[in-house]
Amino acid sequence: MAKLYFSYSSMNAGKSTILLQAAYNYRERGMHTLLLTAALDDRSGRGRIASRIGLACDADLFETGTDLRAHIAGRRDEDRIDCVFVDEAQFLSEAQVWQLAGVADDLGIPVMCYGLRTDFQGRLFPGSAALLALADTLREVKTICWCGRKATMVARLGPSGEILEDGEQVVIGGEDRYVSLCRRHWSRRQLAHAND
């Protein structure tokens, strides 16, 4: 029976690397995959999933209004699909998460989603909230804070490297805009050891 999976973490935990490796493993065994990524995230180029360690692959784009079940069913009519991989899953809408659940339940295709759990203000993204509620399998991908503890939070950096507390929920950026912190240092707005 196909399932809906959600692998989540803070920034720079290697989610895209894990996705690309898993998709490669499917293809290496002669299976067919469909990769999807958010249209609004073009850091690696439009329609491209890339990891910080240099792995990359082309992907179909989804936007807020994309009917993912219809898109996947249409692609399946063209070629067999053994697994669907979704990068930047935090940008899914609740309706799209239900559509992906339908892909697993009704079309019998496993769907593996990878994304952030919370934004820089500690709030769930809509897609992440729906995935946490609906996914059959949840997996936390761990990364560490500068102190060595598990990083579960994301801080957004301003132009001078200061931690921002207000702003739009979605601002696309990488290591230049975001840093992963443990909850303790995120709450304290502390980016490194205090100089005593």
Catalytic residue list:
88
Helix (H, G, I), strand (E, B) or coil at 93: coil
Nearest of 155, 139, 140, 152 to residue 190 by alpha carbon = 155
What span, in angstroms and rounded, lies between the C-alpha atoms of 194 and 196? 6
Q: Take residue 13 and report the two structure tokens written for it.
A: 């935990």
DSSP alpha helices (H): ranges in the chain?
15-28, 68-78, 94-106, 126-134, 183-188
